[in-house]
Amino acid sequence: RKEVEQDPGPFNVPEGATVAFNCTYSNSASQSFFWYRQDCRKEPKLLMSVYSSGNEDGRFTAQLNRASQYISLLIRDSKLSDSATYLCVVNSGTASKLTFGTGTRLQVTL
Amino acid sequence: NAGVTQTPKFQVLKTGQSMTLQCAQDMNHEYMSWYRQDPGMGLRLIHYSVGAGITDQGEVPNGYNVSRSTTEDFPLRLLSAAPSQTSVYFCASSETGGRYNEQFFGPGTRLTVL
């Protein structure tokens, strides 16, 4: 089983739609969780950290479920500019080890 | 601030050739790392450094060497290139390797080994 698993998509949604991605992780000792965004042929950039209590940043909401070992990302009112690949990232104990999921591709259309 | 810079952007090598991928950051970050990204595999950690003079292996270190003589620079050396090393290479830095510290990535180097 992969340490971090994501549905590769693509998720094709119309502008204005709400879309949600899930990511599961296998190491129950994982301590930190992130969502990064990667545009085509560009470097990943931090979208948001995921806290135990859940957190929101504008149209983006991240949730953590430790019991079921998954994190989620909800995007409301999707924009064309949200089209990208969303990477789930988990830090498993040691500061140096970040494990990246393979990413979920989102395509927002008119 | 330029952030994290990488050179070259593109490189084609023949099997057996060696080369160095350059990475520099101007944010005075202690922690630097190298990843490779392959289709369907996600980013995988090659080597990392928690400060000048200190390096350690990541998940896929074979075939690569690193050194960290200054805080700013963290070059990645391919000793004898193989087609399996065809990939996109990203360098990243953060204030520390701490759990909540954002990693800043360079623009990547696209390497093809023939």
pLDDT tens digits along B59-97: 899 999 999 999 999 999 999 999 999 999 999 999 876
Per-residue confidence at B23, pLDDT binned at 50, 70, 90? very high
Answer whether residue B98 shows pLDDT above 70. Answer: no
Average pLDDT, chain B: 93
- Best to test chain A binding among B36, B103, B109 (most A CBs inside 10 Å): B103
Q: How far is B99 from chain A (nearest CA, A)?
A: 5
For A96, nearest residue in chain B (alpha carbons) = B97
Residue A52 has a pLDDT of: 85
> What is the mean predicted confidence (pLDDT) over A9-37?
94
**pLDDT at position A70, please?**
93
Which is nearest to B3 in space by CA: B114, B111, B102?
B102
Q: What is the pLDDT of residues A25-38, one digit of tens each?
A: 998 888 889 999 99
Paired tokens of A31: 């301590």
Q: Which residue has the higher pLDDT, B102 or B15?
A: B15
- Rounded to the nearest angstrom, the minimum Cα separation between A30 and chain B is 10
B68 and B100 Cβ atoms separated by less than 8 Å: no
Q: Does B34 touch chain A (CB under 8 A)?
A: no
Residue A14 tokens, joined: 């119309």
* pLDDT exceeds 60 at position B33: yes
CB-nearest to A91 from B99, B105, B106 is B99
Distances (CA, A) of A32 to A101, B41, B101, B103: 14, 21, 10, 13
Residue B45 burial by Cβ neighbours in a 10 Å radius (0-12, 13-18, 19+): buried
Please tell me the predicted confidence (pLDDT) of residue B111: 97
CB contact under 8 A, B106 and A32: no
**The three-state (H, E, C) secondary structure of chain A, written as one string:** CCCEEECCCCEEEECCCCEEEEEEECCCCCCEEEEEEECCCCCEEEEEEECCCCEEECCEEEEEECCCCEEEEEECCCCHHHCEEEEEEEECCCCCCEEECCCEEEEEEC
Q: Chain-wide mean pLDDT for chain A?
A: 92
Is B102 touching A (CB cutoff 8 A)? Answer: yes
Please check whether residue A108 is in contact with residue A13, taking contact to mean a CB–CB distance below 8 angstroms.
Answer: yes
CA distance B103 to chain A (A): 7
Strand partners, A33: A50, A90
Tell me whether strands A104-109 and A11-14 are parallel, antiparallel or unpaired.
parallel
Query: Which of A98, A99, A104 has the most B C-beta neighbours within 10 Å, making it the best mutation to test the interface with B?
Result: A98
The tokens describing B111, both together, are: 């390497």
